[in-house]
Amino acid sequence: APSDPDLVERARAAKAKLGDKVFVLGHHYQRDEVIEFADVTGDSFKLARDAAARPDAEYIVFCGVHFMAESADILTGDDQQVILPDLAAGCSMADMATAEQVAECWDVLTEAGVAEQVVPVSYMNSSADIKAFTGKHGGTICTSSNAKRALDWAFEQGEKVLFLPDQHLGRNTAVRDMGLSLDDCVVYNPHKPNGGLTAEELRAAKMILWRGHCSVHGRFSLESVNDVRARIPGVNVLVHPECKHEVVAAADYVGSTEYIIKALEAAPRGSKWAIGTELNLVRRLANRFAAEDKEIVFLDKTVCFCSTMNRIDLPHLVWALESLAAGKVVNRIQVDRETESFAKLALERMLALP
Ligand code: 13P
Ligand code: SF4
């Protein structure tokens, strides 16, 4: 549905009043009505890098989810305030690894005598606490666009990787890009004693995958890939690496949201694509490329929006911008100093990856 013209006008007016004081970042999964007001759009890597691009902006309004706003706070100056227009915009995957669970896991690895060989690699989609744990134990953060480089780096530092919290990105990168086998990977289940693993299994493993997943991407299935191939002859299947291994193995192309956009920009006229990622982005791309005669469909019609990404809508954005314009800071995301210093170490290792 088209946006309420009154709200559009209010967002415009508040943004104009704030001028250079505000910098609005928008993740590719955000609604069109929100993307319209973003100064920069990107995948999680680009947004982490660009958060610090405007050191003079007093307010950074982050249209994305909580862990992204935390990362922006960690990577920007103390005098810059990061605002998340709706505090309920979390991420179910990030919630699957808590600080207590990860500390317990480290104890299990220590007991098994493997902790010294383990380098933690944490996906950007994790809380600041998990990032701090990662930094403290000599590890790095990665995103879906640099996971291979992060794993290359980690295997230069140690013999094993503890990959948090997305088992699928960890497994897909290890098997697809690093030449490891499925047998080199074990899954640590935080809800079972000792993660459900024996000391022997931990000693034999190269990749210890945390049992987390994305509730949106986890729903694409091998069946959806087979169905779309039967329905649309010649279709190219392009999926995000948060999808299950069997889906990624059956796809033609795999990559981050930024990669998906670039692949479609470079695609020839008349080509057909089925995309397995969040629906706001797929719809926007389908509309954008229809004019160039590129047919773009959603990989599985039964999968829906990321509900937490969708919490940031125009009314919340207007409320945040109007509050700031009136001198009132709302929904500030602020990571405490101790957590910040270790989390920053891990994030900076990522930003320094070759
Ligand atoms: P990217 O933007 O890095 O591809 O990540 C997707 C995602 O799930 C963000 O929550
Ligand atoms: Fe989290 Fe998945 Fe939503 Fe990304 S798409 S914010 S990983 S739940």
Cα gap 316→31, rounded to integer Å: 12
Identify the residue whose tokens are 């690699």: 121
Contact 151, 141 (CB under 8 A): no
One fold for 94-214 and 217-298: yes
Rg from Cα positions in the chain: 21
CATH superfamily of 94-214: NadA-like (3.40.50.10800)
Running DSSP on this structure, what letter comes out for residue 311? G
Expressed in angstroms and rounded, the spacing between residue 320 Cα and the centre of ligand 1 is 23
Is 123 assigned a ligand-binding role in the annotation?
A: yes
CATH number given to 5-91+309-336:
3.40.50.10800
What pLDDT, in 10s, does the model give residues 116-155?
999 999 999 999 999 999 999 999 999 999 999 999 999 9
Number of the ligand 1 atom closest to the C-alpha atom of 255: 4
2: confidence class by pLDDT, cuts 50, 70, 90:
confident
Tally of residues, the chain: 354
Return the DSSP state at 269.
Answer: T
Q: Is the CB of 92 under 6 A from ligand 2?
A: yes
pLDDT digits (tens, 9 = 90+) for 236-290: 999 999 999 999 999 999 999 999 999 999 999 999 999 999 999 999 999 999 9
3-state SS, residue 175: helix
Distance CA 67, CA 314 (A): 20
For residue 217, give the ligand 2 atom closest to its CA: 2
CATH class of 217-298: alpha beta
What residues contact residue 102 under an 8 Å CB cut-off, 6+ apart? 129, 130, 133, 164
**Known binder of ligand: residue 257?**
yes
Instruction: Give the ligand 1 atom nearest the CA of 65.
Output: 10
The alpha carbon of 196 and the centre of ligand 2 are apart by a number of angstroms equal to 26
Which residue ranges make up each domain of the chain?
5-91+309-336, 94-214, 217-298
Looking at the CA of 46, name the nearest ligand.
Answer: 1
* Under 8 Å between Cβ of 261 and 41: no
Q: Give the distance (Å) from ligand 2 centre to CA of residue 67.
A: 10
Q: Which amino acid is at 1?
A: A
Percent of the chain predicted with pLDDT > 90: 98
Q: Report the run of H or E that residue 224 belongs to, with start and end.
A: helix 222-231
- What does the mean pLDDT of the chain come to? 97
> Does ligand 1 come within 6 angstroms of the Cβ of 126?
no
Task: Quote the CA–CA distance of 310 and 64 in Å, as a whole number.
Answer: 9
pLDDT exceeds 80 at position 353:
yes
**What amino acid occupies position 218?**
G
Q: What kind and span of H or E run contains 61?
A: strand 59-63
Q: Is the pLDDT of residue 1 over 80?
A: no
- Which of 216, 257, 260, 310 to mutate for ligand 2's pocket (most ligand atoms within 8 Å of CB)? 216
Q: pLDDT band at residue 304, thresholds of 50, 70 and 90?
A: confident
For ligand 1, is residue 308 a contact (CB within 6 Å)? no
CA of 256 to the centre of ligand 1 (A): 6
Q: Indicate the pLDDT class of residue 296, thresholds 50, 70 and 90.
A: very high
Mind listing the pLDDT tens digit for each residue in 78-100? 999 999 999 999 999 999 999 99
Give distance in angstroms: CA of 308 to centre of ligand 1.
13
* 91 touches ligand 2 (CB under 6 Å): yes
48 has pLDDT over 80: yes
Mean pLDDT, to the nearest integer, of 175-197? 98
Looking at residue 234, what is its pLDDT? 97
Helix (H) or strand (E) holding 41: strand 40-42
222 burial level (CB within 10 Å; 0-12, 13-18, 19+) = middle
Task: Determine the Cα–Cα distance for residues 277 and 188; give it in Å rounded to an integer.
Answer: 26
Atom of ligand 1 minimally distant from the CA of 257: 4
Query: Could you tell me how many helices (H) and strands (E) the chain has, helices first?
Result: 15, 13
Neighbours of 279 (CB within 10 A): 18
Find, among 108, 154, 121, 129, the residue nearest to 66 by Cα.
129
Q: How far apart are CA 203 and CA 111, in angstroms?
A: 11
Instruction: Specify the residue for token string 């998340």.
Output: 84
The reply to whether ligand 1 has any atom less than 6 angstroms from the CB of 125 is yes
Average pLDDT over residues 178-188: 98
Cα(258) to centroid(ligand 1), Å: 9
